[in-house]
């Protein structure tokens, strides 16, 4: 049986035949835990997050749709992460365990955003891999445009020792400096202060390196990458984060936010992200 609870939230625990595991809450279809085969937890989840089905979950992999951050009139990062999704498929195969979640427009969502829509998220775990596929559908007659992201919180041992590789030469909007456009000229991004960047038309493979381990982030049909760490001062202002949490997390998010996606009547848009852990 898939039915389980994660601190009071309905959830789906996934365990691949090789022992790799993931947990996905139905609230937000949010991956809140991922432990690769023979490894430790690789996702950051704030111990202070409110798991009350009213507030966004701080950590894991929130689904951002149809708005990114505060670029619009909707709640921060849109609607999807605070909706109840239903499980529409689950399978334990020879190599992986997977589940599919779906959510559609309702009278409540139309009060905030007037469009008809559907979102599906497929989560698959096996070995050292976590694969996510997001599908957005427009069943209504009028077109709509949107932003989307898989807001991945990676758990790191020490942010001071982290190197994010693969962004050399990429352009980014610096959200800490009024969206000023900058070209990244560093061989690797190291974190020594607040970082909030939207890399536009970014490479689709990045590597997060730490002492003794690394993690690859592969994006498919997500043109952009968001990198975020609030650092000390901003972290202290977040009620749902411990003051020192910035030392143990880094968001590396596959995203479509630089240019909004337009979806015509009956259309669909599919994108994905794969995380691959190594020691």
48 CB-near residues (< 8 Å, 6+ apart): 58, 239, 240, 241, 242
Active site residue 115: no
User: Do the Cβ atoms of 270 and 134 come closer than 8 Å?
Assistant: yes
From the candidates 137, 151, 194, 248, which is the catalytic residue?
A: 151
User: Do the Cβ atoms of 60 and 130 come closer than 8 Å?
Assistant: no
How many CB atoms sit inside 10 A of residue 37's CB?
Answer: 16
Nearest to 39 by CA among 27, 54, 53, 22: 22
Angle at 51 between CA 255 and CA 256, to 5 degrees: 5
Nearest to 123 by CA among 215, 43, 39, 21: 21
Which residues are paired to 5 by β-bridges?
10
Q: Which helix (H) or strand (E) segment is 259 a member of?
A: strand 249-263
From the candidates 77, 105, 137, 253, which is the catalytic residue?
A: 253
Active site residue 5: no
Nearest to 250 by CA among 212, 218, 200, 207: 207
Beta strands 213-220 and 268-278: pairing type? antiparallel
Beta strands 213-220 and 205-210: pairing type? antiparallel
**Catalytic sites, residue numbers:** 151, 253
């Amino acid at each position: 049986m898939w039915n389980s609870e994660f601190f009071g939230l309905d959830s789906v625990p996934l365990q691949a035949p090789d022992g790799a595991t993931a947990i996905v809450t139905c609230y937000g279809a949010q991956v809140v835990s991922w432990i690769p085969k023979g490894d430790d937890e690789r996702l950051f989840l704030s111990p202070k997050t409110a798991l009350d089905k009213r507030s966004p979950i701080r950590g894991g992999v929130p689904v951002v749709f149809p708005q990114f951050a505060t670029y619009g009139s909707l709640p921060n990062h849109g609607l999807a992460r605070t909706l109840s999704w239903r499980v529409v498929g689950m399978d334990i195969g020879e190599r992986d365990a997977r589940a599919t979640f779906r959510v559609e427009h309702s009278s409540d969502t139309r009060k905030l955003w007037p469009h008809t829509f559907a979102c599906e998220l497929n989560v698959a775990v096996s070995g050292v891999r976590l694969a996510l596929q997001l599908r957005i559908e427009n069943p209504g007659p009028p077109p709509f445009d949107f932003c989307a992201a898989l807001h991945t919180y990676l758990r790191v041992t020490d942010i001071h020792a982290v190197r994010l590789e693969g962004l050399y030469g990429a352009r980014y909007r610096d959200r800490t400096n009024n969206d000023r456009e900058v070209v990244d000229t560093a061989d690797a991004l190291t974190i020594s202060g607040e970082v909030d960047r939207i890399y536009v038309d970014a490479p689709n493979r990045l590597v997060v390196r730490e002492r003794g381990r690394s993690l690859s982030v592969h994006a498919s049909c997500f043109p952009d990458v968001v990198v975020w760490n609030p650092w000390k001062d901003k972290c202290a202002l977040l009620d749902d984060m411990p003051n020192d949490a910035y030392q143990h997390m880094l968001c590396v998010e596959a995203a479509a936010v630089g240019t909004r996606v337009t979806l015509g009547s009956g259309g669909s848009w599919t994108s994905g992200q794969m995380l691959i852990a190594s020691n």
